[in-house]
Amino acid sequence: MDKEQQGSLKPGVNRRTFLLGTAGAVPLLTHTFGTPLLAAGQEGGERLGQAAHAAGLISRQRNPDNLEFPFSTLNTFLTPNEQFYVRTHFGVPEIQTKAWKLTVEGAVSQPLQISYDELRDMPSVNVTALLECSGNSRVFLKPPQSSIRWELGGVSNAEWTGVKLADLLVRAGVQDQAVDVILEGADTGEFHDPDPKTPGVISYARSLPVQKALRPEVILAYRMNGKDLSPAHGYPVRAIVAGWYGMASVKWLSRIILTDRPFDGYFQTFMYAVWERRHGLPTLVPVSEIQVKSEIARPSLHQVIPARSHYRVVGAAWAGETEVTKVELSTDGGRSWQAGRLIDQAVPYAWRLWDYDWETPAQAGHYTLMARATDARGRSQPMAREKDRRDAMITHVLPVEVEVR
Ligand SMILES: Nc1nc2c(c(=O)[nH]1)N[C@H]1C(S)=C(S)[C@@H](COP(=O)(O)O)O[C@H]1N2
Ligand SMILES: [Mo]
């Protein structure tokens, strides 16, 4: 076995402690995969730095910025802030914390306004949660879709610090008739294209039902992995709606409005809505809970892998409001499946890293790898694309073709 192959087998577990928030020390298991295996033929000559850790983001669009986490460099349980994917529709509003105010209004008995300092003085919690854009993996859809064509990195995992939304809602006094909580961002803009147009300039806004808004995993976050939010990720304050697709986690939060009927805003009808069949009739429903999914980080597409060796296949899997119970791997295009190893323990709302020791075949040629996750509710990833989901919630099994040589 050569040096490269041995390197690829090292488990590289790295445990450290994260100091976060007013809650004090929060011990966290932080698994690393170690240095990714170099493709055959790359072993000689100079190395281009410390590969994985130095990698930045991949541009899918600039101004407004839509930037992808380079998923093939996945190494750690928490995504470094500099590598956390960015999804913006209108651009980043400039907000001074001194001037920032958050209002809670609508169907509440005591409308209120809170400053940044007041919010930071409230009891805080830490929630480890992944965000996945509901369009993540859109590049794999046929026919090609017009919105941001994410590959595998429209997803990242962080530890967020903030105040429970429930604490603010209780303070404001939710009235009985309230059913929906609208979260509004300070960013505004207008779409002329694609259709339909926005009704002039609108702000980014999304709602969630009161029952979800009152859950402890829904927070108003001001820190991400122990640092104040950066402008791109919602400075000064954003919502984190753990377990739901990213579009619900409104950044640059400015207003919270309780309403006595469901909100049908642009970003939950024309965008981020899917068909659901009720009584045989397709009806449009807002995208909400993250569905079970796994992704292979390494090997990546068309990677060359030595024959008759051990290759450590690595990736991550997640399941929204429930847990991943199993990740299975196929190296023969889905004919047979073997169990992958789930690493560390499950953390609610976060992803779970996994690996699989692939004994590569003696026979040179092209091989198709697949990963398929199952959750605690017994749901597995479908093999084929679910058409009713339009261009969102892409969870079918994604093949990775590699070359064994
Ligand atoms: N105000 C505001 N909030 C927003 C968005 C936005 O454009 N404006 N994009 C949403 C979408 S679609 C996603 S996937 C997440 C991405 O969060 P991130 O950029 O911190 O990764 O933010 C959500 N919150
Ligand atoms: Mo998104």
CA 146 to CA 399: how far, in whole Å?
22
189-229 per-position pLDDT tens digit: 999 976 789 999 999 999 999 999 999 999 999 999 999 99
Structure tokens at 364: 């040179």
What pLDDT shows up at residue 108? 98
pTM for the model: 0.89
**H-helix or E-strand spanning residue 256:** strand 253-259
- Could you tell me where the beta strands, DSSP code E, fall in 40-190? 58-61, 66-68, 86-87, 101-106, 112-115, 125-132, 155-164, 180-189
pLDDT surpasses 90 at 155? yes
Which residues are near ligand 1 (CB < 6 Å)?
Answer: 84-89, 131, 133, 185, 187, 204, 233, 246-247, 249-252
Q: Which numbered ligand comes closest to the C-alpha of 134?
A: 2
Q: How far is the CA of 60 from the centre of ligand 1 (A)?
A: 15
Q: How confident is the model at residue 55 (pLDDT cuts 50, 70, 90)?
A: confident
Atom of ligand 1 nearest to the CA of 203: 1
For the residues of 174-209, what is the DSSP string, one character each?
A: B-TT--EEEEEEEEEE---SSSSPPSSSEEEEEEEE
Residue 110 CB burial class (10 angstroms; 0-12, 13-18, ≥19): exposed
With the most atoms of ligand 1 within 8 angstroms of its CB, the residue from 251, 270, 271 to mutate is 251
275 contacts 284 by C-beta, under 8 angstroms: yes
What pLDDT shows up at residue 32? 63
Distances (CA, A) of 206 to 215, 244, 266, 358, 394: 17, 12, 8, 43, 20
Nearest Cα residue to 51 out of 75, 20, 26: 75
Q: Residues 170-199: what's their mean pLDDT? A: 94
Q: Which numbered ligand comes closest to the C-alpha of 248?
A: 1
Higher pLDDT, 354 or 387: 354
Q: How confident is the model at residue 385 (pLDDT cuts 50, 70, 90)?
A: very high
Higher pLDDT, 22 or 146: 146
152 CB-near residues (< 8 Å, 6+ apart): 71, 72, 136, 137, 295, 296, 297, 398
Atom of ligand 1 nearest to the CA of 185: 1
β-strand partners of 353: 316
Q: Which numbered ligand comes closest to the C-alpha of 249?
A: 1
